[in-house]
Amino acid sequence: MREFSRIGVVGCGLMGSGIAEVCVRAGLDVKVAERGEEALAAGRSRIVASLDRGLRSGKLSEPERQAALDSLAFTVDLDELADRDLVIEAVAELPDVKTTVFKELDRVLAGSDAVIASNTSSIPIIDLAAVTGRPQQVVGVHFFNPVPVQRLVEIIPTQLTSDAVTEQVTAFAANIRGKTVVLARDRAGFVVNALLIPYLVSAVRMLESGVASAEDIDNGMVLGCAHPMGPLRLLDLIGLDTAQSIAESMYEEYKEPLYAPPPLLRRMVAAGALGRKSGRGFYAYGD
């Protein structure tokens, strides 16, 4: 079976940096592309800080840390991904942004048999594959945040993805230490978010209607249902803007009211209260 050894990652935010980190820790050659030098520097700092935490905790040796850094390259030029055999898109959860990236990657990788994957949380993969000339080589590879910690990877083939590509990408994800793979049909939300998003937006509606406080809603689910984190704290971790985009994508596909973003969620996003990454969401976060 074909093995991927040269990995490209487009986007170096929370998800992209995490994907790049687990790939280099798996011994792969990784090149990360970002839109500008500032975003690229922030992403590199995020990866280095995570590797340093692994070193301090004893989960990573100094030679392993250095080998990971040596396997990483960074660029602001998407054309420099032309030598990659698997490129994973991890940009903002916005259909227009992702389709633009897929069109560019299709151009950059023209003439090669490279696979293009998306880390989208909810956008149907076929919508991205359709803007390329290689739909049989497009697949969803959905990691979860934080990528170095969360064990699950969803693999989402479309009706047009070749069986060989599905098998190859599944093997790639399964060979990353600590990861477990599930296969999902190409429907908005896939497996996890199709179950998770209605639960999360229900918690926002409960808070919005005054049924209980944020703390009591979260404590109810943590202490009453043995969840590791309450739904509102989880939304802060995911990012309220990301959750809103996922909910909108799912509502667009199914038109089910349970997927629709509540007004409170929309207002918080508009106000810039995005959760941990902005310093405030349903809770406040200090430095």
pLDDT, tens only, 197-213: 999 999 999 999 999 99
Amino acid (one-letter) located at 237: L
Give the residue from 226, 228, 235, 223 showing the smallest Cα distance to 199. 235
Q: Supply the pLDDT for residue 2.
A: 87
Q: How far apart are CA 112 and CA 253, in angstroms?
A: 33
Helix axes 263-270, 192-208, angle to 10 degrees: 90
Place of tokens 């040596």: 70
Among the listed residues 34, 119, 142, 245, the single catalytic one is: 142
Average pLDDT over residues 72-85: 97
| pLDDT tens digits, 21-50 | 999 999 999 999 999 999 999 999 999 999
How far is residue 214's CA from residue 216's CA, in Å, rounded to a whole number?
A: 6
Q: Are 179 and 173 in contact (CB under 8 A)?
A: yes
Catalytic residue check, 154: yes
Phi first, then psi, for residue 16 (nearest 5°) are -60, -45
Q: Which residues pair with 60 in a beta bridge?
A: none
| Catalytic residue (one of 21, 89, 93, 154) | 154
What pTM does this model have? 0.91
The label of the residue with tokens 């989960």 reads 59
DSSP letter at 275 equals B
* Active-site residue (options: 50, 118, 122, 193): 193
Cα 79 vs. chain centroid, distance in angstroms?
A: 22
Q: Is the pLDDT of residue 109 over 70?
A: yes
- pLDDT the model gives residue 28: 97
pLDDT tens, residue by residue, 149-186: 999 999 999 999 999 999 999 999 999 988 999 999 99
Residue owning tokens 């293009």: 116
The whole-number average pLDDT for the span 88-97 is 94
Cβ atoms within 10 Å of 196's Cβ, excluding its own = 17
Give catalytic status of residue 142 as yes or no.
yes
Is residue 38 annotated as a catalytic residue, yes or no?
A: no
- Domains in the chain and their CATH numbers? 6-183 (3.40.50.720), 193-278 (1.10.1040.10)
- The mean pLDDT value for 68-95 works out to 96
Task: Give the per-residue pLDDT at 193.
Answer: 94
Q: pLDDT, tens digit, for every residue of 112-148?
A: 999 999 999 889 999 999 999 999 999 999 999 899 9
Q: Distance between CA atoms of 40 and 35, rounded to whole angstroms?
A: 8
Give yes or no for residue 1 having a pLDDT over 90.
no
pLDDT at 122: 87
Is there a catalytic annotation at residue 193?
A: yes
Single-letter amino acid code for the residue at 279: G
Looking at the predicted structure, is the pLDDT value of residue 287 above 70?
A: no
- Mean pLDDT of all residues in 89-101: 94
> Which segments of the chain are extended strands (E)?
6-10, 29-33, 72-75, 86-89, 115-118, 138-143, 152-157, 180-183
Over 80: is that where the pLDDT of 99 sits? yes
- Give the separation between CA 182 and CA 82, rounded to whole angstroms: 29
What does the pLDDT average to over 70-93? 96
State the pLDDT at residue 244: 95
Element spanning 128, H or E:
helix 125-129
In this predicted structure, what is the pLDDT of residue 71? 95
Given 119, 121, 245, 249, the catalytic residue: 121
φ, ψ (nearest 5 deg) of residue 196: -75, -45
Identify the burial level of 234 via C-beta atoms within 10 angstroms of its C-beta, where 0-12 means exposed, 13-18 middle and 19 or more buried.
buried
The predicted structure's pLDDT at residue 266: 97
